[in-house]
Amino acid sequence: MYDLTQSVELIQKKKMTFVVLDQDIDTGSATGRLIFHIMGTIAEFERELIKERTQEGRERAKLAGVEFGAKETLDEEQKKALAEDCAQGELSKKEIGKKYGISRASVYRIWDTMKTDG
């Protein structure tokens, strides 16, 4: 709401008005500004409710045992083999990624994790 209000104030400083044609809102009048602020406040309230409900849903899902995020592509043995391939240096990271069906970035991420985990 703050950013929206700031944008409208900037428009007004330039001697213009903000008009929403399909909702008959015109910030050039006191009534239009009132409706603009009421609608913006209601929209902000609705967004907050959605955030709260979403968070509650996530918490309930976690309590029910739901796991969020992408599933691991490689198991621990595959990760160890990948780290060995990286350490040997015979294949490029791109080639290793193709070998395991993952991206080059994932190769680097897994390899870094394996190096720090031992």
Residues 13 and 58 occupy one common structural domain? yes
pTM value > 0.85: no
- The total number of structural domains in the chain stands at 2
CB atoms near residue 62 (< 10 Å): 11
Residues 59 and 80 occupy one common structural domain? no
At residue 118, does pLDDT exceed 60?
no
CB atoms near residue 70 (< 10 Å): 5
Structure token digits, residue 83 = 């780290």
- Asked, for residue 70, whether it belongs to a domain, the answer is no
- For residue range 19-70, list pLDDT tens digits in order: 888 888 888 889 988 988 898 899 999 999 999 999 999 999 999 999 898 8
| Residue range of the domain that includes 92 | 76-117
